[in-house]
């Protein structure tokens, strides 16, 4: 069986609740997923996660509705035309990491996020990286302010990447001299954080020395 089908499906509870809201019973879900009603009860309570293989019949029926709950909206402005462009990116976020700069407010220096890397998992071992920068007004150089944090960032969306390609791209950015000079600590730790996020979500990547337990 494919490794991705064995890993826990993070949105198990939400998927089960979608089925229940459509009139399914826990017993019907158990029969469809070839498991026990007690297992479905644990899924519904968020106590356990099913695998993608177990939940495939429900994903086939309700996956499109689940995707509507697991997307984020991004935007940018075309420098040439000043047209606003909006992006809807589906899939759960497995990593969001900000790089901080310093801004003077009166007599004090304040750390503020200036660059951000977000990674969406989009199924079938595919990912997209969102690179975000804080918007500045050209005529004042002031940063955009809003109570909704997602609205403060201009975004660039990468093409589809595998888990290993995500690691390779993050490593490439971490070696960028301009980024390193501005954010040495934050960019130095990013390669570790992306590997940690991928491993914790069940993905295999190269270059990891493993020391398995014996239980």
Taking the C-alpha atoms of residue 61 and residue 50, their distance in angstroms, rounded to an integer, is 16
Taking the C-alpha atoms of residue 167 and residue 195, their distance in angstroms, rounded to an integer, is 7
Q: Per-10-residue mean pLDDT for the chain, 215 residues long?
A: 66 87 92 95 90 92 74 90 92 90 72 92 88 77 71 93 97 96 94 94 89 84
Question: What pLDDT shows up at residue 7?
Answer: 78
Residue range(s) occupied by CATH 1.10.260.40 in the chain: 3-68
Q: Which CATH architecture does the domain made up of 3-68 adopt?
A: Orthogonal Bundle (1.10)
Taking the C-alpha atoms of residue 203 and residue 199, their distance in angstroms, rounded to an integer, is 5
Q: Could you tell me if 92 and 10 are in contact, meaning their C-beta atoms sit under 8 angstroms apart?
A: yes
SS3 state at 117: strand
Question: What pLDDT shows up at residue 101?
Answer: 84
User: Residue holding tokens 């609205």?
Assistant: 151
Taking the C-alpha atoms of residue 146 and residue 41, their distance in angstroms, rounded to an integer, is 41
Q: Which class for 32: exposed (0-12), middle (13-18), buried (19 or more C-beta within 10 A)? A: middle
Question: What pLDDT shows up at residue 45?
Answer: 87
Contacts of 72 (CB under 8 A, 6+ apart): 88, 89, 93, 118, 120, 150
pTM for this predicted structure: 0.68
């Amino acid at each position: 069986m494919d490794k991705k089908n064995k890993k826990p499906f993070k949105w198990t509870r939400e998927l089960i609740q979608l089925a229940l809201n459509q009139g399914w019973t826990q017993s019907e879900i158990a029969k469809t997923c070839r498991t026990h009603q007690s297992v479905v009860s644990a899924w519904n309570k968020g106590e356990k996660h099913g695998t993608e293989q177990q939940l495939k019949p429900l994903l086939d029926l309700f996956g499109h509705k689940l995707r509507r709950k697991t997307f984020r909206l991004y935007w940018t402005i075309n420098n040439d035309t000043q047209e606003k462009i909006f992006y809807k990116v589906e899939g759960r976020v497995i990593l969001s990491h900000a790089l901080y700069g310093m801004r003077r407010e009166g007599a004090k220096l304040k750390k503020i996020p200036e660059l951000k890397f977000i990674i969406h998992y989009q199924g079938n071992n595919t990912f997209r990286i969102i690179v975000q920068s804080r918007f500045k007004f050209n005529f004042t150089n002031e940063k955009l302010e809003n109570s909704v944090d997602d609205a403060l960032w201009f975004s660039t969306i990468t093409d589809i990447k595998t888990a290993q390609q995500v690691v390779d791209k993050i490593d490439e950015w971490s070696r960028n001299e301009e980024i390193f000079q501005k954010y040495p600590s934050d960019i130095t730790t990013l390669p570790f954080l992306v590997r940690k996020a991928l491993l914790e979500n069940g993905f295999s990547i190269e270059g990891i020395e493993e020391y398995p337990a014996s239980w």
